[in-house]
Homo-oligomer: A and B are copies of this chain.
Amino acid sequence: MTDASLDWLISVDDHILEPPHVWVDRVSAKDRDRAPHMEHDDDGLDYWVYDGNRYPSSGLSAVAGKSKEEFSPEPLPYSEMRPGCYDPKARLEDMDRAGILASLCFPTVTRFCGQLFMEASDREFGFVCLQAYNDWMIEEWCGSAPGRYIPLVLIPMWDPPLAAKELERCAGKGATSFAFSENPAPLGLPTIHDQDRYWDPVMAAANDLELVVSMYVGSSSQVPQIAPDAPFLANLPWGAMRTSGAMLSWLFSGMFERFPKLKIALSEGEIGWIPYYLERAEQVLDKQRHWVKKMGFLGHAAADDTLDLDSFDVRGTFREHIYGCFIDDAHGIKSLDEIGEDNVMCETDYPHSDSTWPDCIGVVKRRIGHLPTETQYKLLRGNAERLYRFLPAEPPVLADA
Protein backbone atom coordinates (compact mmCIF):
# COMPACT_ATOMS: atom_id res chain seq x y z
CA MET A 1 0.00 0.00 0.00
CA THR A 2 1.54 3.29 -1.05
CA ASP A 3 0.68 6.79 0.03
CA ALA A 4 -0.79 7.33 -3.44
CA SER A 5 -3.38 4.64 -2.72
CA LEU A 6 -4.85 7.03 -0.15
CA ASP A 7 -5.44 9.75 -2.74
CA TRP A 8 -8.79 8.37 -3.90
CA LEU A 9 -12.02 7.36 -2.23
CA ILE A 10 -15.04 5.28 -3.11
CA SER A 11 -18.26 7.13 -2.38
CA VAL A 12 -21.14 4.85 -1.42
CA ASP A 13 -23.75 7.60 -1.61
CA ASP A 14 -24.12 9.92 -4.56
CA HIS A 15 -27.09 10.86 -6.68
CA ILE A 16 -28.16 10.75 -10.30
CA LEU A 17 -30.52 13.24 -11.86
CA GLU A 18 -31.82 10.77 -14.43
CA PRO A 19 -31.11 11.90 -18.00
CA PRO A 20 -34.26 12.46 -20.08
CA HIS A 21 -33.75 9.40 -22.29
CA VAL A 22 -33.64 6.71 -19.57
CA TRP A 23 -37.16 5.47 -20.17
CA VAL A 24 -38.18 6.73 -23.60
CA ASP A 25 -35.21 4.88 -25.13
CA ARG A 26 -36.10 1.62 -23.44
CA VAL A 27 -39.87 1.19 -23.55
CA SER A 28 -41.77 0.28 -26.70
CA ALA A 29 -42.67 3.16 -29.01
CA LYS A 30 -46.33 3.14 -28.04
CA ASP A 31 -45.45 3.53 -24.33
CA ARG A 32 -43.06 6.45 -24.63
CA ASP A 33 -45.67 8.99 -23.62
CA ARG A 34 -46.68 7.14 -20.52
CA ALA A 35 -43.17 6.23 -19.34
CA PRO A 36 -41.38 8.91 -17.29
CA HIS A 37 -40.40 11.56 -19.82
CA MET A 38 -39.42 15.15 -19.74
CA GLU A 39 -41.52 18.12 -20.80
CA HIS A 40 -40.50 21.75 -21.05
CA ASP A 41 -42.38 24.82 -19.97
CA ASP A 42 -42.49 28.19 -21.68
CA ASP A 43 -40.87 29.63 -18.58
CA GLY A 44 -37.71 27.60 -19.20
CA LEU A 45 -38.36 24.92 -16.59
CA ASP A 46 -38.50 21.21 -17.29
CA TYR A 47 -40.49 18.54 -15.52
CA TRP A 48 -40.60 14.80 -15.39
CA VAL A 49 -44.08 13.68 -16.40
CA TYR A 50 -45.42 10.29 -15.32
CA ASP A 51 -48.79 8.83 -14.50
CA GLY A 52 -50.55 12.19 -14.68
CA ASN A 53 -48.11 14.01 -12.40
CA ARG A 54 -45.40 16.58 -13.05
CA TYR A 55 -42.15 16.49 -11.06
CA PRO A 56 -39.77 19.45 -11.21
CA SER A 57 -36.20 18.94 -9.99
CA SER A 58 -35.37 20.68 -6.72
CA GLY A 59 -32.43 23.01 -6.84
CA LEU A 60 -31.16 21.43 -3.62
CA SER A 61 -30.73 18.13 -5.48
CA ALA A 62 -28.23 19.62 -7.91
CA VAL A 63 -26.06 22.17 -6.13
CA ALA A 64 -22.69 20.87 -7.34
CA GLY A 65 -20.65 23.89 -8.38
CA LYS A 66 -22.83 26.37 -6.52
CA SER A 67 -21.81 28.26 -3.39
CA LYS A 68 -23.97 27.75 -0.31
CA GLU A 69 -25.25 31.29 -0.72
CA GLU A 70 -26.73 30.17 -4.06
CA PHE A 71 -28.50 27.04 -2.74
CA SER A 72 -32.22 27.11 -3.41
CA PRO A 73 -35.07 24.60 -3.28
CA GLU A 74 -36.68 26.29 -6.27
CA PRO A 75 -37.15 24.10 -9.38
CA LEU A 76 -34.01 23.93 -11.48
CA PRO A 77 -33.95 23.05 -15.19
CA TYR A 78 -31.36 20.54 -16.35
CA SER A 79 -29.78 23.23 -18.52
CA GLU A 80 -28.68 25.06 -15.37
CA MET A 81 -27.16 22.00 -13.68
CA ARG A 82 -23.61 20.79 -14.01
CA PRO A 83 -23.68 18.05 -16.66
CA GLY A 84 -22.16 15.73 -14.06
CA CYS A 85 -25.56 15.62 -12.42
CA TYR A 86 -27.05 13.57 -15.27
CA ASP A 87 -24.22 12.55 -17.63
CA PRO A 88 -21.93 9.69 -16.56
CA LYS A 89 -19.02 10.89 -18.68
CA ALA A 90 -19.25 14.44 -17.40
CA ARG A 91 -19.59 13.02 -13.88
CA LEU A 92 -16.23 11.27 -14.30
CA GLU A 93 -14.53 14.63 -14.77
CA ASP A 94 -16.11 15.87 -11.55
CA MET A 95 -15.11 12.66 -9.78
CA ASP A 96 -11.52 12.87 -10.98
CA ARG A 97 -11.27 16.43 -9.76
CA ALA A 98 -12.55 15.48 -6.30
CA GLY A 99 -10.61 12.27 -5.77
CA ILE A 100 -13.64 10.02 -6.23
CA LEU A 101 -12.44 6.74 -7.69
CA ALA A 102 -15.86 5.14 -7.79
CA SER A 103 -19.40 6.00 -6.86
CA LEU A 104 -22.67 4.31 -5.95
CA CYS A 105 -25.59 6.47 -7.08
CA PHE A 106 -29.17 6.66 -5.87
CA PRO A 107 -31.96 7.68 -8.24
CA THR A 108 -33.96 10.91 -7.98
CA VAL A 109 -37.25 11.02 -9.90
CA THR A 110 -38.04 7.39 -8.99
CA ARG A 111 -37.41 8.42 -5.37
CA PHE A 112 -34.81 6.67 -3.25
CA CYS A 113 -36.18 3.14 -3.42
CA GLY A 114 -38.46 3.36 -6.46
CA GLN A 115 -41.58 4.66 -4.71
CA LEU A 116 -42.65 6.31 -7.98
CA PHE A 117 -43.42 2.97 -9.58
CA MET A 118 -45.07 1.56 -6.48
CA GLU A 119 -47.48 4.49 -6.33
CA ALA A 120 -48.28 4.31 -10.07
CA SER A 121 -51.84 3.55 -11.12
CA ASP A 122 -50.52 0.75 -13.36
CA ARG A 123 -47.95 -1.22 -11.40
CA GLU A 124 -47.45 -3.69 -14.22
CA PHE A 125 -46.20 -0.88 -16.42
CA GLY A 126 -44.44 0.56 -13.39
CA PHE A 127 -42.42 -2.66 -13.24
CA VAL A 128 -41.54 -2.31 -16.93
CA CYS A 129 -40.20 1.17 -16.15
CA LEU A 130 -38.37 -0.08 -13.07
CA GLN A 131 -36.63 -2.75 -15.12
CA ALA A 132 -35.74 -0.14 -17.70
CA TYR A 133 -34.07 1.90 -14.94
CA ASN A 134 -32.11 -1.12 -13.73
CA ASP A 135 -30.93 -1.97 -17.25
CA TRP A 136 -29.97 1.63 -17.89
CA MET A 137 -28.14 1.83 -14.55
CA ILE A 138 -26.08 -1.27 -15.26
CA GLU A 139 -25.57 -0.96 -19.02
CA GLU A 140 -25.33 2.76 -19.57
CA TRP A 141 -24.48 4.57 -16.36
CA CYS A 142 -22.09 1.95 -14.98
CA GLY A 143 -21.23 0.55 -18.42
CA SER A 144 -19.94 3.92 -19.57
CA ALA A 145 -16.93 3.65 -17.27
CA PRO A 146 -16.08 0.18 -15.97
CA GLY A 147 -14.72 0.20 -12.44
CA ARG A 148 -15.99 3.71 -11.72
CA TYR A 149 -19.64 3.09 -10.80
CA ILE A 150 -21.17 0.55 -8.39
CA PRO A 151 -24.55 -0.58 -9.76
CA LEU A 152 -27.51 -0.05 -7.41
CA VAL A 153 -30.84 -1.39 -8.65
CA LEU A 154 -34.48 -0.95 -7.68
CA ILE A 155 -37.04 -3.58 -6.72
CA PRO A 156 -40.84 -3.63 -6.99
CA MET A 157 -41.48 -3.05 -3.27
CA TRP A 158 -45.12 -4.07 -3.75
CA ASP A 159 -44.33 -7.64 -4.85
CA PRO A 160 -41.52 -9.42 -2.97
CA PRO A 161 -41.52 -12.62 -5.08
CA LEU A 162 -41.27 -10.50 -8.24
CA ALA A 163 -38.60 -8.42 -6.51
CA ALA A 164 -36.60 -11.57 -5.78
CA LYS A 165 -36.75 -12.50 -9.48
CA GLU A 166 -35.66 -9.01 -10.48
CA LEU A 167 -32.74 -9.21 -8.05
CA GLU A 168 -31.67 -12.48 -9.61
CA ARG A 169 -31.90 -10.99 -13.08
CA CYS A 170 -29.90 -7.91 -12.08
CA ALA A 171 -27.31 -9.90 -10.13
CA GLY A 172 -26.72 -11.85 -13.32
CA LYS A 173 -25.91 -8.57 -15.03
CA GLY A 174 -23.53 -7.43 -12.30
CA ALA A 175 -25.65 -5.65 -9.68
CA THR A 176 -24.36 -6.08 -6.11
CA SER A 177 -26.81 -3.88 -4.22
CA PHE A 178 -30.39 -2.70 -4.24
CA ALA A 179 -32.25 0.20 -2.70
CA PHE A 180 -34.53 -0.59 0.22
CA SER A 181 -36.53 1.64 2.54
CA GLU A 182 -35.15 2.52 5.98
CA ASN A 183 -38.74 2.14 7.17
CA PRO A 184 -41.39 0.63 4.88
CA ALA A 185 -44.28 1.45 7.27
CA PRO A 186 -44.80 5.07 6.15
CA LEU A 187 -44.86 3.78 2.57
CA GLY A 188 -47.90 1.70 3.46
CA LEU A 189 -45.90 -1.53 3.28
CA PRO A 190 -45.36 -4.29 5.85
CA THR A 191 -42.24 -3.77 7.95
CA ILE A 192 -39.30 -6.13 8.41
CA HIS A 193 -41.12 -7.28 11.58
CA ASP A 194 -44.15 -8.48 9.66
CA GLN A 195 -45.60 -11.65 11.15
CA ASP A 196 -46.27 -13.05 7.68
CA ARG A 197 -42.68 -12.37 6.73
CA TYR A 198 -43.62 -10.29 3.72
CA TRP A 199 -39.99 -9.40 2.99
CA ASP A 200 -38.50 -12.87 3.30
CA PRO A 201 -38.39 -13.57 -0.48
CA VAL A 202 -36.42 -10.36 -0.98
CA MET A 203 -34.06 -10.96 1.93
CA ALA A 204 -33.58 -14.61 0.98
CA ALA A 205 -32.56 -13.50 -2.52
CA ALA A 206 -30.28 -10.80 -1.09
CA ASN A 207 -28.72 -13.40 1.20
CA ASP A 208 -28.21 -16.00 -1.52
CA LEU A 209 -27.01 -13.55 -4.16
CA GLU A 210 -24.96 -11.52 -1.64
CA LEU A 211 -26.65 -8.24 -2.54
CA VAL A 212 -26.24 -5.35 -0.13
CA VAL A 213 -29.46 -3.81 1.22
CA SER A 214 -28.79 -0.08 0.75
CA MET A 215 -31.08 2.11 2.81
CA TYR A 216 -30.88 5.77 2.01
CA VAL A 217 -31.91 8.05 4.84
CA GLY A 218 -35.26 9.44 3.72
CA SER A 219 -36.25 6.35 1.71
CA SER A 220 -39.24 6.06 4.05
CA SER A 221 -40.59 9.24 2.40
CA GLN A 222 -40.73 10.53 5.98
CA VAL A 223 -39.47 14.01 6.78
CA PRO A 224 -38.45 14.19 10.45
CA GLN A 225 -40.55 16.73 12.23
CA ILE A 226 -39.94 17.33 15.93
CA ALA A 227 -43.23 19.19 16.25
CA PRO A 228 -45.72 20.45 13.67
CA ASP A 229 -44.26 23.95 13.80
CA ALA A 230 -40.64 23.14 14.62
CA PRO A 231 -38.28 25.25 12.50
CA PHE A 232 -36.77 23.59 9.47
CA LEU A 233 -33.28 24.22 10.88
CA ALA A 234 -34.20 22.14 13.95
CA ASN A 235 -35.78 19.30 11.96
CA LEU A 236 -33.00 18.96 9.40
CA PRO A 237 -30.17 18.01 11.79
CA TRP A 238 -32.57 15.53 13.42
CA GLY A 239 -32.53 13.41 10.24
CA ALA A 240 -30.41 10.59 11.68
CA MET A 241 -33.24 9.69 14.05
CA ARG A 242 -34.59 7.73 11.07
CA THR A 243 -31.34 5.85 10.54
CA SER A 244 -30.91 5.12 14.24
CA GLY A 245 -34.44 3.69 14.23
CA ALA A 246 -33.60 1.55 11.20
CA MET A 247 -30.45 0.23 12.86
CA LEU A 248 -32.27 -0.76 16.06
CA SER A 249 -35.17 -2.15 14.08
CA TRP A 250 -32.89 -4.43 12.03
CA LEU A 251 -30.77 -5.47 15.01
CA PHE A 252 -33.81 -6.80 16.85
CA SER A 253 -35.67 -8.10 13.78
CA GLY A 254 -34.25 -11.63 13.64
CA MET A 255 -33.45 -11.00 9.94
CA PHE A 256 -29.71 -11.49 10.39
CA GLU A 257 -30.26 -14.77 12.18
CA ARG A 258 -32.51 -16.09 9.42
CA PHE A 259 -30.35 -14.70 6.61
CA PRO A 260 -26.80 -14.84 7.94
CA LYS A 261 -25.09 -13.40 4.85
CA LEU A 262 -27.29 -10.31 4.77
CA LYS A 263 -25.51 -6.94 4.94
CA ILE A 264 -27.21 -3.57 5.22
CA ALA A 265 -25.78 -0.15 4.46
CA LEU A 266 -27.15 2.95 6.22
CA SER A 267 -26.63 5.25 3.26
CA GLU A 268 -26.11 8.93 4.09
CA GLY A 269 -26.88 7.90 7.66
CA GLU A 270 -23.70 9.37 9.15
CA ILE A 271 -21.99 7.53 11.99
CA GLY A 272 -21.54 9.80 15.02
CA TRP A 273 -24.77 8.62 16.62
CA ILE A 274 -23.91 4.91 16.37
CA PRO A 275 -21.81 4.43 19.53
CA TYR A 276 -24.47 5.82 21.85
CA TYR A 277 -27.26 3.72 20.36
CA LEU A 278 -25.21 0.51 20.39
CA GLU A 279 -24.32 1.03 24.04
CA ARG A 280 -27.91 1.85 24.91
CA ALA A 281 -29.21 -1.21 23.08
CA GLU A 282 -26.79 -3.37 25.07
CA GLN A 283 -27.99 -1.85 28.34
CA VAL A 284 -31.65 -2.27 27.49
CA LEU A 285 -31.11 -5.87 26.38
CA ASP A 286 -29.21 -6.64 29.58
CA LYS A 287 -31.75 -5.14 31.95
CA GLN A 288 -35.12 -5.48 30.25
CA ARG A 289 -34.94 -8.71 28.30
CA HIS A 290 -36.16 -10.90 31.13
CA TRP A 291 -39.60 -9.38 31.46
CA VAL A 292 -39.85 -8.73 27.73
CA LYS A 293 -39.21 -12.43 27.07
CA LYS A 294 -41.92 -13.41 29.53
CA MET A 295 -44.33 -11.31 27.53
CA GLY A 296 -43.40 -13.08 24.28
CA PHE A 297 -41.26 -10.25 22.88
CA LEU A 298 -44.53 -8.30 22.89
CA GLY A 299 -46.04 -10.66 20.34
CA HIS A 300 -43.48 -10.39 17.56
CA ALA A 301 -43.35 -13.97 16.45
CA ALA A 302 -41.06 -13.27 13.53
CA ALA A 303 -38.34 -12.22 15.95
CA ASP A 304 -39.42 -14.57 18.75
CA ASP A 305 -38.65 -17.57 16.59
CA THR A 306 -35.17 -16.56 15.62
CA LEU A 307 -33.65 -14.27 18.24
CA ASP A 308 -32.23 -15.84 21.38
CA LEU A 309 -32.19 -12.75 23.58
CA ASP A 310 -30.03 -14.36 26.27
CA SER A 311 -27.15 -14.91 23.89
CA PHE A 312 -27.84 -12.02 21.52
CA ASP A 313 -24.71 -9.97 20.86
CA VAL A 314 -25.70 -6.43 19.83
CA ARG A 315 -22.24 -5.23 18.88
CA GLY A 316 -21.21 -8.47 17.23
CA THR A 317 -24.37 -8.46 15.13
CA PHE A 318 -23.75 -4.85 14.16
CA ARG A 319 -20.16 -5.55 13.12
CA GLU A 320 -21.16 -8.59 11.08
CA HIS A 321 -24.09 -7.03 9.24
CA ILE A 322 -24.33 -3.23 9.36
CA TYR A 323 -22.31 -0.55 7.60
CA GLY A 324 -22.40 3.19 8.08
CA CYS A 325 -20.94 5.98 6.01
CA PHE A 326 -19.89 9.57 6.58
CA ILE A 327 -19.46 12.75 4.60
CA ASP A 328 -17.76 14.87 7.25
CA ASP A 329 -18.39 13.55 10.75
CA ALA A 330 -15.68 14.53 13.23
CA HIS A 331 -17.40 12.89 16.19
CA GLY A 332 -17.96 9.66 14.27
CA ILE A 333 -14.30 9.38 13.26
CA LYS A 334 -13.21 10.22 16.80
CA SER A 335 -15.39 7.30 17.95
CA LEU A 336 -14.24 4.91 15.24
CA ASP A 337 -12.97 2.31 17.70
CA GLU A 338 -16.47 2.03 19.17
CA ILE A 339 -18.09 1.64 15.74
CA GLY A 340 -15.45 -0.56 14.14
CA GLU A 341 -13.07 0.41 11.36
CA ASP A 342 -14.41 -2.41 9.17
CA ASN A 343 -17.96 -0.99 9.23
CA VAL A 344 -17.44 2.55 8.00
CA MET A 345 -17.26 3.85 4.45
CA CYS A 346 -17.15 7.33 3.02
CA GLU A 347 -19.46 9.22 0.70
CA THR A 348 -19.61 12.56 -1.05
CA ASP A 349 -23.35 13.08 -1.63
CA TYR A 350 -22.70 14.62 -5.05
CA PRO A 351 -24.58 16.70 -6.22
CA HIS A 352 -26.78 17.28 -3.14
CA SER A 353 -26.49 20.17 -0.73
CA ASP A 354 -24.55 18.16 1.88
CA SER A 355 -21.86 17.39 -0.66
CA THR A 356 -18.26 18.35 -0.05
CA TRP A 357 -17.56 18.50 -3.79
CA PRO A 358 -15.14 19.53 -5.24
CA ASP A 359 -12.93 19.00 -2.15
CA CYS A 360 -14.21 15.50 -1.32
CA ILE A 361 -10.92 13.69 -0.80
CA GLY A 362 -9.52 16.70 1.05
CA VAL A 363 -12.37 16.78 3.56
CA VAL A 364 -12.10 13.06 4.27
CA LYS A 365 -8.32 13.14 4.54
CA ARG A 366 -8.48 15.99 7.04
CA ARG A 367 -10.76 13.86 9.19
CA ILE A 368 -8.91 10.54 8.92
CA GLY A 369 -5.34 11.51 7.96
CA HIS A 370 -4.05 10.86 11.49
CA LEU A 371 -5.23 7.23 11.48
CA PRO A 372 -2.98 4.28 10.55
CA THR A 373 -2.58 3.84 6.79
CA GLU A 374 -4.41 0.55 6.82
CA THR A 375 -7.39 2.09 8.61
CA GLN A 376 -7.48 5.00 6.18
CA TYR A 377 -7.47 2.58 3.28
CA LYS A 378 -10.42 0.68 4.74
CA LEU A 379 -12.48 3.85 5.18
CA LEU A 380 -11.53 5.33 1.83
CA ARG A 381 -12.19 2.24 -0.28
CA GLY A 382 -11.31 -1.12 1.25
CA ASN A 383 -14.58 -1.60 3.11
CA ALA A 384 -16.66 -0.51 0.10
CA GLU A 385 -14.73 -2.85 -2.20
CA ARG A 386 -15.33 -5.79 0.15
CA LEU A 387 -18.98 -5.01 0.92
CA TYR A 388 -20.06 -4.35 -2.66
CA ARG A 389 -17.67 -6.97 -4.12
CA PHE A 390 -16.38 -4.21 -6.32
CA LEU A 391 -13.07 -4.02 -8.15
CA PRO A 392 -12.45 -0.37 -8.96
CA ALA A 393 -10.54 0.82 -12.00
CA GLU A 394 -6.97 1.98 -11.58
CA PRO A 395 -6.99 5.62 -10.51
CA PRO A 396 -6.81 7.84 -13.59
CA VAL A 397 -3.64 9.75 -14.25
CA LEU A 398 -4.61 13.38 -14.13
CA ALA A 399 -3.19 16.01 -16.41
CA ASP A 400 -1.93 18.12 -13.53
CA ALA A 401 -0.73 15.18 -11.42
Contact = CB atoms under 8 A, between A and B. Distances in A.
Nearest to A195: B229
Interface residues of A, number: 74
Copies of the polypeptide in the assembly: 2
A285 interface: yes
A46 to B, nearest CB: 21
Contact of A331 (B270, B279, B284): B279
A151 interface: no
A316 to B, nearest CB: 16
Contact of A277 (B273, B289, B292, B294): B273
Contacts of A292: 232-233
A249 B230 contact: yes
A292 B71 CA distance: 9
A288 interface: yes
Interface in A235-254: 235-241, 244-246, 248-249, 251-253
A335 interface: yes
Given A238-B244, A241-B244, A273-B273, A286 B233 contact: no
Interface stretch (A77-85, A96-104, A110-118, A296-304): A296-304
Nearest to A245: B226
Nearest to A330: B279
12 contacts: A191-B227, A230-B248, A232-B297, A233-B288, A233-B292, A234-B251, A236-B284, A240-B276, A240-B277, A240-B280, A287-B354, A331-B335
Given A234-B245, A276-B331, 12 more contacts: A72-B291, A73-B291, A194-B229, A231-B252, A232-B292, A237-B280, A237-B281, A238-B244, A241-B241, A272-B279, A279-B331, A331-B335
